[in-house]
Amino acid sequence: MATITGPLSGDARNTVAEALQGALVDLIDLSLVAKQAHWNLVGAHFRPIHRQLDKVTELARKHMDILAERSVALGINPDGRSATVARNTKLPQPDGGWLEDGKVVATVTETLDGISKRMYERIRLTDEPDPVTQDLLIAVAREVDKQHWMFQAQR
């Protein structure tokens, strides 16, 4: 069986692995939460929020793939299994059934705020051990912050 190795070892590898795995879980669950809200959204502002939730899903899916592939390039196994995501997510989960547009805006705003804060911590932690990973996390933070602002403006 072939193995993948990377340039990092020891504490640097562990720090980067933890940052990438945490970001991966955040992004996988963000895509799921955004789609759940997208499918069950109701209210006077349905159409623009419905479309904006698709943008959130797109950004999550794009960046989760980039981060998972970065993990593999470093010889770290990414874990995107549903059980892993369910066990480790820090995202608030939407209620079942129809979701009123104002509540969706509030929940997504809170969700993006939490992800943003965790991304900034990961950016800080990966500064020294792996600036390449840090750069990828900065790109995620930039897009998460933009969506956070856009949802926040609707409150």
Q: Give the whole-angstrom CA distance, residue 41 versus residue 62.
A: 23
- Indicate the Cα dihedral angle 35, 84, 18, 78, nearest 10°: -80
Q: Give the whole-angstrom CA distance, residue 152 versus residue 44.
A: 17
Structural contact between residues 143 and 63, judged by C-beta atoms closer than 8 angstroms: yes
Res. 1: pLDDT tops 90 = no
Q: Give the whole-angstrom CA distance, residue 36 versus residue 55.
A: 14
Res. 155: pLDDT tops 90 = no
* pLDDT tens string 66-86: 999 999 999 999 999 999 999
Res. 116: pLDDT tops 90 = yes
Structural contact between residues 14 and 83, judged by C-beta atoms closer than 8 angstroms: no
- Note the pLDDT of residue 126: 98
Determine the distance from the C-alpha atom of residue 36 to the mean position of all C-alpha atoms in its chain, rounded to a whole number: 15
Q: Which domains does the chain have, with CATH numbers?
A: 10-153 (1.20.1260.10)
3-state secondary structure of 99: strand
Structural contact between residues 77 and 69, judged by C-beta atoms closer than 8 angstroms: no
Res. 2: pLDDT tops 90 = no
Instruction: Using alpha carbons, list the distances in angstroms from residue 154 to 18, 55, 147.
Output: 34, 15, 11
pLDDT mean over 55-63: 98
Q: What sections of 41-81 are H helices per DSSP?
A: 46-73
In the block, tokens 């899903």 appear at 57
